[in-house]
Amino acid sequence: MGVVIESSVWEPNPSLFIFIFFACLLSILLLSYATKSASSSPFHLGVSPSFLRFKRNFLLIYSLASAIEGFWSVFGEFEWSYYGMNREQMLLILSVGFGGSLIIGTTLGVLSDILGQKKMALIFCTLHLFVGAWKRLTAHPSLWLASVFLSVASSIFSFSFETWMVLEHEKQGHRQELLNDTFWLMTFFESASLIGSQSLANLSVLSVGKTGLASSFGATIWLAVVSIICISWLSKEPSQVVEVANRKMPYASILHDKRIWLLAYTQASVHFSVTVFWILWAPTLVADGREVHLGLIYPCLLGARMLGSSIFPWVIGGSSLRTEDCLLYAFIVSGLAVFIISYDYQEIGTLVSLFCVFHACIGIILPSLARLRTMYVPNELRGGMISLSAAPANAAILLFLWQGGYYRNVGNSAVMALAAAGLFSSAACMHFLKRLGKQPYSNWHKS
């Protein structure tokens, strides 16, 4: 008589989904009663109809772009293994993508301040449209070239939409303090769109057995086409404040400003820690042969980021904390979470809880950094600053992919510990930024 050992797959408690949903709902509904001004309310009491129309149009486009961006990330290694790639080839594809983001993406970020952010947004959609059509129509597409295109598109996504929104907001003459609301809603809608893209991708994968994986890429084509149409309907590109011939002066000036360097380092640390997390979170959970339902944990993480973003207006509008103080505490908490994760704690429930804490902090950090960029970085140079900040992070990720993934010289825990160190040092940067105070290029003239 044999003994049957049943293996169980770990899944998050359904009450976690309910808690995150109602916590986000209550945070938004009660916001108007806790903030100091009506402009901080998500219902926008007393604001102009033109601003509401502008914000709705932008958030619609940004949500579509977020869904496109998240659609490809759902497949990941599943797509590569579908086309017969082994581990070394997958690592090389990932490295080629980060290399393209490092070289081409950084260059486009600087050029975007000259060419215009609306054109960059259209290039973002066109790249996804091209990759989707290529994979849809070709039996064996070049995954190397597709990885470069998608990585460049991700770089454009990181700087173009935010910069475009800020420039258009300034061009239309809306109050600067209203940007706070748009910043946290961007993070909120991006996280919600990523959850939606996961559901869309999972539904499309159901047809893999019948018509192949390529049939699932049709959704990306339609999303890209709709995004291009919506972007074309928006207002004309805002006029650039600084002429191309005179850009050397402001770039030279901000390079001597310590505040810009502190913000750039902080942005690089956030980019590095978030990217490292999404590369290593699944291997960390399934270590030692543990079985985990990753598809149910993914929306929990993004839901935690939604919750964090909905907390941002409470902190900014309903308390006396400065943005730098808020970020200092958020960086310390997120750094502690990542530092504990770096030890690969064996309890899955504890790991998932730490993951959620980290993403809740990221939900606070992202709109806070966007607000500080508006305070300290000239709007006409915003895209270049964001892309240049991400360059050292991409270079570090590329280095660790080769040293850790290919040569096995660096362990995953060491990379996570380095990400935690970056978050802790970012907290120190916020302390020094607060001591330095405002600078002459502040766009936040009403704060």
pLDDT digits (tens, 9 = 90+) for 380-439: 889 989 999 999 999 999 998 888 766 677 788 889 999 999 999 999 999 999 888 765
Name the average pLDDT for the chain: 83
pTM: 0.89
Would you state the structure tokens that stand for residue 410, as one six-digit string? 């660096």
Of the candidates 306, 36, 381, the one whose C-alpha atom is nearest the C-alpha of residue 177 is 36
Contact criterion met (CB below 8 Å) for 314 and 34: yes
pLDDT at residue 245, rounded to an integer: 44
Enter the CATH code of domain 47-240. Answer: 1.20.1250.20
Query: How do the domains of the chain map onto residue ranges?
Result: 47-240, 245-447
Strand partners, 292: 10
Cβ neighbours for 209, distance < 8 A, ≥ 6 positions apart: none
3-state helix, strand, coil in the chain (%, to 5): 80, 0, 20
Query: Averaged over 362-374, what is the pLDDT?
Result: 94
- Dihedral sign (CA 340, 345, 349, 351): positive
Higher pLDDT, 100 or 41: 100
Would you place residue 208 in the very low, low, confident or very high pLDDT band (cuts 50, 70, 90)?
low
Q: Which two tokens stand for residue 394?
A: 């991409």
pLDDT at 370: 94
For the chain, give the longest Cα–Cα distance. Answer: 85
Among 140-149, 201-210, 435-444, which is the least confidently predicted range? Answer: 435-444
Say whether 245-447 and 47-240 share the same fold: yes
CA 123, CA 118: separation in Å to the nearest integer?
Answer: 9
Determine the residue type at 104. I
**Which CATH code fits 245-447?**
1.20.1250.20
The mean pLDDT of 178-198, rounded to a whole number, is 91
Q: Residue 82: name the closest of 217, 186, 173 by CA.
A: 217
Other beta carbons less than 10 A from residue 226's beta carbon: 16
Q: What are residue 319's phi and psi, to 5 degrees?
A: -145, 170
Q: How far apart are CA 30 and CA 316, in angstroms?
A: 15
